[in-house]
Amino acid sequence: MYENILIPTDGSDTANVAVSHAVDLAKKYNARLHALYVVDVDAVNLSLGTEQIDRIRQGNFGEMHELQEDADDATGAVVDAAAEHDVAVHEEVRVGTPHDVIAGYADNQDIDLVVMGSHGRSGVRRALLGSVTERVLRSTHVPVLVVDEHEEA
């Protein structure tokens, strides 16, 4: 049923709960996991110049070592969790607007299922900001499993 499962991760507790589900599904269906970390170009734009943003878009983090470390830590957690269950993982770091990158990756990499955590935002904050998960749901035709952030990992 599933051959390729995408787990977008930012290394947060919410994402780690989703990782647990993704690993279980990948093991059950003998699927490959795709651990995707997205450097949010809009968030990074606030503190960097155009030249630095262009380098980051090309995957050259230069003196922004913490961005590379964050990406390595987040995808590395997926690799570690998957290794315990003999599940293959492809790690990927992309730069862009998270929901666009996630939806594009899912649509272009033969992904059968996206597994994501929900931050459970509500009220005005959710209406104004939206969430990456909601935007992915609206942006892709690939099924998305949304995991409750309050569930135990």
The 10 Å Cβ neighbour count of residue 33 is 25
- The pLDDT of residue 122 is 46
The band of 129, judged by pLDDT with boundaries at 50, 70 and 90, is very low
Please name the residues in contact with 42: beta carbons below 8 A apart, sequence gap of 6 or more. 97
Q: Is the pLDDT of residue 125 over 50?
A: no
Q: Is the pLDDT of residue 45 over 90?
A: no
Average pLDDT over all residues of the chain: 83
Is 98:8 a contact under the CB 8 Å cutoff?
A: yes
Q: Is the pLDDT of residue 87 over 90?
A: yes
Q: Which CATH superfamily, name and number, covers 4-148? A: HUPs (3.40.50.620)
- The pLDDT of residue 73 is 93
Convert the pLDDT of each residue in 1-35 to its tens digit. Answer: 899 999 999 998 888 999 999 999 999 999 999 99
